[in-house]
Structure 1
Amino acid sequence: MRTLLLTLALTTPFAAQAADRVTGQPFATRSEVYAPHAMAATSHPLATQIALDVMKSGGSAVDAAIAANAALGLMEPTGNGVGGDLFAIVWDPRSKKLLGYNGSGRSPKSLTLAEFQRRGLTDIPPHGPLPVTVPGTVDAWFALHERFGRKSMGENLAPAIAYAREGHPVHEVISYYWNRSVPVLSKWPGYSEQFTVDGGAGQRRGPRTGEMWKNPNLANTLTKIAQGGRDAFYKGEIARTIDAYFKANGGFLSYEDLAAHTGQWVEPVSTNYRGYDVWELPPNGQGIAALQILNLLEPYDLKRYGFGSPEHVHLFTEAKKIAFADRAASYADPDFYRAPTARLISKEYARERGKLMSMDKAASAVEPGVIPELNEGDTIYMTVADADGMMVSLIQSNYRGMGSGMAPPGLGFIFQDRGEQFVLKPGHPNSFAPGKRPFHTIIPAFVTRDGKPWLSFGVMGGAMQPQGHAQIVMNLVDFGMNLQEAGDAPRIQHDGSTEPAGQGTAMSDSGELDLESGFSYETVRALMRKGHSVRFADGPYGGYQAIMVNPNGGYIGASESRKDGQAAGY
């Protein structure tokens, strides 16, 4: 996969943002996109155009988001599809409020912790039938549509159905990840038949860059959903096909699990960062980790230190370690354990936890600040904004790229493997239980200022997501970058914190600090002196899309330069 290469600015000893070689002024890989009426930013140009077409023909931002998301399930199956989950934040211009939707599915009711123990497993495997949970995307589409849709669901799904039948050329980054998945997932029934092409000599492969791809099975599935509504997926012929497939292949997901599924409208939560209210969804997602990171960083004058300085990278990394210690201990399905979210994102708690941060030394280990008391009880990101002021921040995923590999015959999609994110350890808030939602990595984000919408954005990519959210806010607020620069600037990823899934060991060695190309060697050496283990890694830095309200009217859009995407408007 190509990695964004950034030249060093010459303006300060530690400068690291992309810069013009002659003037030394910051630049981005492309200009911000400006439009007077509406904007869409997705990880695929065709999906972006679909969203714009829907809004031009009278659809709302929610209609456009559904249409684009359905197309992405076809065009970018390496990240999402109707076999996965969906989370969204919507700015409603009528009520002038943010609303959140948690579209995550639950574990099969017939699968128990004891079954994993009987099999001698200490972690849930990443592929096959065991990590499969109920997919929540279709339910989320209809819940969002019922509240904010203007066009029929048939109209919204029509573009994806047409491309699935007629074909579309596969893009570069998608082809790379698709072909990387084929050797891993081809062992699972239904995958090779529906998601590979004949490579000759008896070999199967994914489509190459520019090759046309059709998925008539998915076209049929989407047509049934368009005609029969959400129940066509959860209670109709599709659900019975799914039930029979898992029964025949050692799985536990059943018709009853699908029929019982419901998503949930939730209240977004926020913290104020230097006058900007940054909004995330509460657990079972990891969004509040971004808020915890920002709270921990607010006391420091990052603008004075400068982007790319040792202080900037070090302080961010130390704040991430502290937030992720709580993430591992407390983020779980609120129906089983209600995390103390208000305390975790409070300024008081940040002041208390901030005492753990040293300017001079990298922390080797961090304990959670809240000890749980149990109660009973890969990915795409896209954003759309319409002419009426509605804005949608939406993220959707199969997890681990193409998901579990389980692809029921004739349906044209792959099931997610979100269940891998459970812990097989009794007593942990995120411990596996029947009918439970796992800890979730996918998170949409939103920023308001003075009670008005300012920014809809997200950064997909596993544990990178809250780290990416915090970095985008820092780049805009602290370092004065424009919307495209904020996404193009080299990114930081810390790896090695204690994880909320599996039996993972607690961090004891400070973890690993990945720095994207563009940070100076002066900064790298200074970080190593503080005790950081610095790596240069290709590819783990996420995928960014954003739409900002233009104070002069209309919108500003930006898209991830590390992916195939596009921001466009009219």
Structure 2
Amino acid sequence: VEPFMSGLGGAAYVVAHDAATGRTLTLDGAVQLPQAATPDLFELLDPNTQGLGVYGWRATKDNAAETGYRSIAVPGAVATYATLLERLGTMSLADVLVPAIRLAEEGFPVDWYVFANAAISMSRLQAFPHTMATFFKPDGTPHKPSMIDDVLGPDRFKQLELAQTLRTIAAQGPEVFYRGEIGQLIAQHLREHGGVVTTDDLANYQVREREPLWIDYRGKRVAFISRNSGGTTVAEMLNILGGFDLAGLGHNSAAALHLIAEAQRMAYTDRFAYLGDPDFAEIPLAALESAAYAVARRAEINPSGPPSTQAVGDPWPFHAGGRPAQVAPTDGRDAADQHTTHLTVVDRDRNIVSLTASLGQLFGSGVVVPGTGVTLNNGMMWFDPEPGRINSIAPRKRALHAGTPAIVYDGATPFLALGSPGGRKVLTAVQQIIHNVVDFGLGMQEAVSAPRIHCESGVVHMDARLPVETIETVRAMGHAVSVREEHFLSSYFARPNAIMIDHAAGVLRSGLEPYKLSTAVGY
């Protein structure tokens, strides 16, 4: 249970497979900026003296783009869940919400994971009294987990206001969140505290249902979300690497990791240069997702090293619309860890849901709306606050998010579903798990728990579990290397989970992140 990572006030992204029809569905439930989100909404600080924001962009005065009322964008999660249920569900919304209502009302025993995330967020949340009252004990301390020789056991964490909100949604449907009493409570509270989301912004929100982005990789078909997720970028990575014999180089060999790092760096450089909301700029999506463009990028890689320059690619010759007027790229510095939830579900009929949901940072904006129990996102942080860039702030613009839910098919038969929390590290985690299964033939748990790398700029971050000889060989090839040791509160290499369907044996095989609380349940 991760109420600090995701919730009704956040974003959600879905790739789903309907076994009865063979249809694959994607839902983009990105947060959307309110009408009042103009480019001059935030006062920018000097990056040379005031530091940078969580995504490496210019920081804002009072950290207003990342914490508090002006950091909030219109949430898409409720609309996404309701649309998914309407399209593929077999139960009513009221029935589906019964377990969630019970969990919110009766509570759950606090574990070390909940305790630790609350504790590290205390100083940030103390500016918001109702949030403190919702998530902390009356004396302002976190609810405690079970301790050694603790006769009383762990505290139970309850969310009574949220339980009532869920009951209202169960009775009246998602409309009550966007156009009814819940939406009115949200808008009123934000108006009273300097927020910019209004009832009109909530009423105008729509989840985007689209056909999947399909790519072919080593004879398999991979379904992603295009446009506002990580799908386009991971597709570019896979397309580039499809021209190299990774299996022949060996799993996690220095030669293979060199190529993987090169593809990651190229795809991220293109992401920062070209990706944003396609409703606001000409975006070469089809080109970036194409095998033809990947051939051109692949030619820039020397398999023996040294690494290529961190140059932006030129997808416009592969774009049907031609070359438009240029828009400044967003900044591409390494981002800090982010906080998200990912669920991978396969049922007995082999229907599949890969769902990534997020509030943004821990506890989102830090704001819980009184009377609702809803924790609101800090979706403004997903936009570059510097005006005039491809992913800058603009009214009604949708966020470019790192969520990368995916399903992999053998022909028309799905056999792997996966995704991850972890900010921009999500993309490289999903990419490498696909390599581990498709290229190297690893089992599901081994594919998820194997050491990974991450390269979104000039530095290759390498898991400390990799052999020293491998790390030093990658360094000797000319890469700047940072060795990272993952622990239970870090997210240097994301927190993926996955399910493999073994059709021949008639079983499901899970893969769980070994450093975090992650659970596989089958029945």
Mean CA deviation greater in 362-371 or 280-289: 362-371
Give runs of aligned pairs for residues 212-251 of structure 1, distance below 5 A.
212-251=156-195
CA distance in 1: counterparts of 2:115 and 2:308, whole angstroms: 39
Q: Please state how far the C-alpha of 1:338 moved relative to its aligned partner.
A: 4.6
With normalisation by structure 2, the TM-score equals 0.87
Unpaired runs of 5+ residues, structure 2, are 48-57, 147-153, 317-322, 328-338
Q: Is the 8 A contact 1:91 1:392 kept in 2?
A: yes
Q: Please state how far the C-alpha of 1:380 moved relative to its aligned partner.
A: 0.7
Q: Which of 557, 560, 563 matches 2:510?
A: 557
2:88 paired residue number: 148
Q: Is the 8 A contact 2:369 2:375 kept in 1?
A: yes
Q: Is the 8 A contact 1:171 1:564 kept in 2?
A: no
Q: Is the 8 A contact 1:87 1:394 kept in 2?
A: yes
Letter in structure 2 aligned against 1:352: A
CA distance in 1: counterparts of 2:254 and 2:39, whole angstroms: 45
User: Are 2:425 and 1:474 equivalent residues in the alignment?
Assistant: no
1:72 paired residue number: none
Mean CA deviation greater in 171-180 or 433-442: 171-180
CA distance in 1: counterparts of 2:480 and 2:116, whole angstroms: 29
User: Are 2:231 and 1:290 equivalent residues in the alignment?
Assistant: no
Letter in structure 1 aligned against 2:324: E
Distance 1:296 1:85, change over 3 A: same
Letter in structure 2 aligned against 1:129: Y
Q: What value does the CA root-mean-square deviation take over the aligned residues? A: 2.1
Q: Which of 108, 123, 127 matches 2:67?
A: 127
After superposition, the C-alpha distances for 1:199-246 in whole angstroms (9 at most, x for unaligned) are x5xx43354464321111111111111111011111122111111111
2:493 paired residue number: 541
1:521 paired residue number: 468
CA distance in 2: counterparts of 1:306 and 1:172, whole angstroms: 38
User: Are 2:33 and 1:107 equivalent residues in the alignment?
Assistant: yes
CA distance in 1: counterparts of 2:282 and 2:213, whole angstroms: 14
Q: Which of 350, 353, 362 matches 2:307?
A: 362
After superposition, the C-alpha distances for 1:396-455 in whole angstroms (9 at most, x for unaligned) are 110112211011112222111122111234442312111111211112111111122121
User: Are 2:259 and 1:315 equivalent residues in the alignment?
Assistant: yes
Letter in structure 1 aligned against 2:32: R
Q: Which of 391, 394, 413 matches 2:355?
A: 394
Q: What SS does the corresponding residue of 2:455 show, helix, strand or coil?
A: strand
Percent identity over the alignment?
Answer: 31
Distance 1:393 1:118, change over 3 A: closer
After superposition, the C-alpha distances for 1:96-149 in whole angstroms (9 at most, x for unaligned) are 121111111311112211333599995452111222111111111111111122
Q: What SS does the corresponding residue of 2:279 show, helix, strand or coil?
A: coil
Q: Please state how far the C-alpha of 1:364 moved relative to its aligned partner.
A: 4.8
Q: Which of 341, 354, 357 matches 1:380?
A: 341
CA distance in 2: counterparts of 1:384 and 1:310, whole angstroms: 34
Q: Is the 8 A contact 2:32 2:399 kept in 1?
A: yes
Letter in structure 2 aligned against 1:518: R
1:299 paired residue number: 243
Mean CA deviation greater in 337-346 or 266-275: 337-346
Unpaired runs of 5+ residues, structure 1, are 1-74, 498-509
Letter in structure 2 aligned against 1:556: R
Letter in structure 1 aligned against 2:171: Q
2:451 paired residue number: 490
CA distance in 2: counterparts of 1:172 and 1:561, whole angstroms: 16
Greater relative contact order structure (CA < 8 Å, 6+ sep): 1
Q: Is the 8 A contact 2:13 2:30 kept in 1?
A: yes
2:377 paired residue number: 416
CA distance in 2: counterparts of 1:364 and 1:340, whole angstroms: 22
Distance 1:326 1:118, change over 3 A: closer
2:149 paired residue number: none
Residues paired across the two proteins, number: 478
After superposition, the C-alpha distances for 1:366-413 in whole angstroms (9 at most, x for unaligned) are 22434773699x111111122222111111110112211011112222
Distance 1:189 1:434, change over 3 A: farther
Q: Please state how far the C-alpha of 1:494 moved relative to its aligned partner.
A: 2.1
Distance 1:370 1:178, change over 3 A: farther
Q: Is the 8 A contact 2:384 2:393 kept in 1?
A: yes
2:108 paired residue number: 168
Letter in structure 1 aligned against 2:85: H
Q: Please state how far the C-alpha of 1:172 moved relative to its aligned partner.
A: 3.0
Q: Please state how far the C-alpha of 1:196 moved relative to its aligned partner.
A: 1.4
Q: What SS does the corresponding residue of 1:91 show, helix, strand or coil?
A: strand
2:142 paired residue number: 205
Q: What SS does the corresponding residue of 2:420 show, helix, strand or coil?
A: strand
